[in-house]
Copies of this chain bind each other. A is one copy, B any other.
């Protein structure tokens, strides 16, 4: 593995959430897809964050980005506006959640601008924002080596054509299980995956929450990454974005065109970062990890599915 850190550009939401879980509550919990992605990917790559926040955005998080080596020159701070805010309550199962309030604020007029040099980043992740904005950023790039994207049910509903246009351009799409069904119109997940890949995406990652994630690579091979069985899921917010951060971060760090083998290892690093994420509010557990901690959890994941392939029948 090379030791210079490649540039990984991420564009997405940066938010302040109000999180209510069955056991705890935090009123000012910094979130947003690009925040979680950046913090998780910062262990692997030189992350460049593009997004927008308001004057109310916590200074501490700006400092945390700096400490994590995240280049935030592309994070616009609007002195006139308020940060995107979301308030939600998780149900007992920690999987379903109810949105209580959404205030787009400065995010409503988000027009991603890339600071000079950003367009030459070799790796690009289009986190969950409006597909037309994702496309706008994509078009500004100068031939990135690898492009990943995420999306959500809202865009499948209201911007399907834009979404499909964007999907057709990317190397990796990460999507939730239910969204994969919604996008493809197929209930069976294998059929859903095949239909989505026909849209032009090279590799597909289907996120299954507490059941882990599924990879379908360009050759049609499946890989199943488990989720870590955790005694306490403190706050699931951002798990999918941290997964994407570990996944894209690892692929960027490897610096090769992803193949079956590197994609599989990337799936595990994604799962590792997601497993840390849910152990605390916001990016509390994703900040200040040691490489040794990440490696130890990687090995925990390895043990989780490891079995002898040698014991055959006779």
Number of chain A residues whose Cβ lies closer than 8 Å to a Cβ of chain B: 54
Q: Are B189 and A1 in contact (CB under 8 A)?
A: no
Q: What CA separation (Å) do A43 and B312 show in the bound complex?
A: 12
A264-B308, A265-B307, A307-B268 are contacts. A313–B43 as well, Cβ < 8 Å? yes
* Residue of B whose beta carbon sits closest to that of A265: B311
A308 touches B265 (CB 8 A): yes
Copies of this polypeptide in the complex: 2
Q: Which residues of B contact A109 (CB under 8 A)?
A: none
Q: Is the CB of B305 within 8 A of A233?
A: no
B-side contacts of A304, CB under 8 Å: 222-224
**Contact call B188/A233, Cβ cutoff below 8 A:** yes
A44 to B233, CA, bound (A): 39
Quote the shortest CB–CB distance from A190 to chain B (angstroms).
4
Taken together as a complex, chains A and B put the C-alpha atoms of A208 and B311 apart, in Å, by 24
Q: Using Cβ atoms and an 8 Å threshold, which residues of chain B touch A190?
A: 229-231
Question: 17 interchain pairs (CB within 8 A)?
Answer: A43-B313, A92-B187, A189-B229, A190-B229, A190-B230, A190-B231, A193-B229, A208-B211, A222-B229, A224-B229, A224-B304, A254-B311, A264-B308, A267-B307, A291-B314, A298-B312, A302-B307
